[in-house]
Structure 1
Amino acid sequence: MSRLNVPPSEDVPAGAQRILENVGAQLGFVPNMFKTIASNPAVLEVVTTLQSTLSRVLDAKTRHSIALAVSQANGCSYCLAMHTYVATEFGGMSGDDIELVRVGSSVDPKRAAAARFAQQVVDSRGRVSDAELAGVRGAGYTDPQILAIIAVAVQFLLTNFINNVNQTDLDILAVGSVDTAVAQ
């Protein structure tokens, strides 16, 4: 059960209500995470503006891969379910690829490097090794793209933390665990 209150729709300020309507139009429903965040319109605006801005820094499949890799690293079941849904329905990712990126791999070697690096950033709290940085560069990422990977990872850290603190009620199908030996 969610631990933070979801405001009744009549108590959501008009500006936040417009944001929720936009989210609903994009996804076909308003996820519980956004309903909860609407209790603080400034935070709702920050989250949705960050998502909108960072949607332009890397291709969609790479962003979905980072979202899933970071959510797996943080054990955010709500985010794993939501990002699996979005990656499948809107991102055209296969179930096999989704399982792979959750453990820092992918059917695409370049996306695998981005997912793995994002997990390394999370696991090390940003203190990646020279070898890890060389690995993502070796996959073909430039320094501006590496900055984008970090920024996208941080975006998902924010929503992972919100949902982990809240224990947000799932409003989408849950996903199962993955075999972490797959990435080895």
Structure 2
Amino acid sequence: MSHIPTPESIQQAPHGSQNLLQAVQQKLGVVPNLFRIVANSPAALQGYLGLLAALETGALEAATHERIALAVAQVNGCGYCLAAHCYLGSNIAHLSDEEMEANRKGFSSDAKAEAAVRFAADIAQSRGHVASSAVQNVKAAGYSDAEIVEIVVHVALNTLTNYVNSALGTAIDFPQVRELAA
């Protein structure tokens, strides 16, 4: 159970969040609990959706977004985001179960994607304090400067949602995922 109320419907959300949640409903067909709990603050919801929308127009592939989200959620121990991004990784990005498990461990079966996932996991683990060699490694794998910036921003965006869900106890409304073996 969430530590603060999660509006049960768009109409129960603060007035300033209702149009934003309606846009989420139109895009996704549902309004996941993450969006509804963030809707308690229209400003926070607007900021989150704005950054999310901007990154969707970026240079990175959608599958890379999901790989990064899985790696970061694993590092941060966010069960909600692991469940959500396993669902999205499978159903939207068409990643295999094996690939998603590798992503959660900071790896990938694709060499270029692995560089991004490792870099993202390193950023999350070090709270942004990566060695210059980490940046050089992702650049050597073929990522442009713009893509490298987007990887960092994806880590930040996913960390934001990890923290919201963990701090507020967002109820998981996606299929549960199993914990990885130590």
- Which of the five TM-score ranges fits, normalised by the shorter chain? over 0.9
- The answer to whether the aligner puts 1:81 opposite 2:79 as a matched pair is no
Q: Does 1:70 align with 2:72?
A: yes
Q: Alignment identity in percent?
A: 38
Match of residue 98 from structure 2: 96
Deviations 1:78-117 (A, max 9, x none): 0010011111111111111111111111121111111110
Q: Name the structure 2 match of 1:28.
A: 29
Aligned-residue RMSD, C-alpha: 1.5
- SS of corresponding position for 2:18: helix
**Following the alignment from structure 1 to structure 2, what is the Cα–Cα distance between the partners of residues 179 and 147?**
32
Q: Which residue identity is paired with 1:83?
A: H
4+ long deviations beyond 3 Å: 7-11
Q: How many angstroms does 1:24 deviate by?
A: 2.2
TM-score (normalised: structure 1): 0.91
Cα distance in 2 for residues equivalent to 1:171 and 1:8: 12
Compare 17-26 and 114-123 and name the one that shifted more. Answer: 17-26
Determine if contact 2:69/2:158 at 8 Å carries over to the other structure: yes
Q: Does structure 2 conserve the Cα–Cα contact (< 8 Å) formed by 1:104 and 1:113?
A: no
Q: Secondary structure of the equivalent of 1:177?
A: coil
- Would you say how many aligned residue pairs link Structure 1 and Structure 2? 180
> Does residue 1:54 correspond to 2:55, yes or no?
yes
CA distance in 1, matches of 2:23, 2:148: 30
Distance in structure 1 (CA, Å) of the matches to 2:137 and 2:28: 35
Quick one: which amino acid aligns to residue 42 of structure 1? Answer: A
Aligned counterpart, 2:3? 3
Q: Which runs of 5+ in 1 are unaligned?
A: none
CA distance in 1, matches of 2:47, 2:98: 33
Whether the aligned pair in 2 keeps the contact of 1:71 and 1:156 (CA below 8 Å) is: yes
Once the two structures are superposed, residues 113-135 of structure 1 have per-residue CA deviations (whole angstroms, 9 ceiling, x without a partner) of 11110110111111111322222
Structure 2 matches for 1:1-184, cutoff 5 A?
A: 1-7=1-7, 9=9, 10-57=11-58, 58-179=60-181
